[in-house]
Chain A
């Protein structure tokens, strides 16, 4: 199975900060990686799919990038509504695997 190692597990940041979350795949997953945002008690919301493509309606301060098997989610100018937990998901092959999650909270 493909392992997705997500880091950090948590981070504290302030409104306006630039934040980067990383997922590293244990093998090549091409660009078959999505990023999700989840708030407490809510359904996960897809932010980015196919490594780079922003989901319709998602603010442009969110972006995705890739270098080989390392994938990054960057939030430019963090807003109050961005405090949440973020997960990556690889869907290049079954079983799909999620990263462990990154909780972004207020410094």
Chain B
């Protein structure tokens, strides 16, 4: 059974930093791309960042590029999101999601339960 468990969400002050983690199990982690998706309170879904299965290629939405860094440790089956220069606009529930393929863009077939980041 595929499981994704996010952690690391916290209350931070503006300008602060935070690292989110997503522990994966139930599939061959290094064979699949992963993404982070966020949802601000009462708002819609926003795709934030993605990484290929090998970790060699990363992608970002413009609003976080240069402030957030996605990475993965395939030996530990863990996905990360390093967040810097946090602002109120980053307040959201952050979900990690598994892609159907390892490299090329593909559907997100499994999602974690999410972790809350509050910036205030």
Contacts and interface: CB of A to CB of B under 8 A. Distances in A.
Interface in B101-120: 105-109, 111-114
Nearest to B64: A95
A73 to B, nearest CB: 15
Contacts of A36: 45
Interface string A84-107: 000101011111111111000000
Nearest to A34: B107
Nearest to A95: B61
Contacts, number: 57
The size bracket of the interface on B is: 20 to 34
Contact of A46 (B35, B61, B106, B107): B107
A89 B108 contact: yes
Given A36-B45, A38-B45, A93-B105, 14 more contacts: A1-B62, A46-B108, A49-B107, A50-B107, A89-B108, A92-B105, A94-B50, A94-B59, A95-B47, A95-B50, A96-B35, A96-B47, A101-B44, A101-B45
Interface of B: 35, 44-47, 50, 59-62, 95, 99, 105-109, 111-114
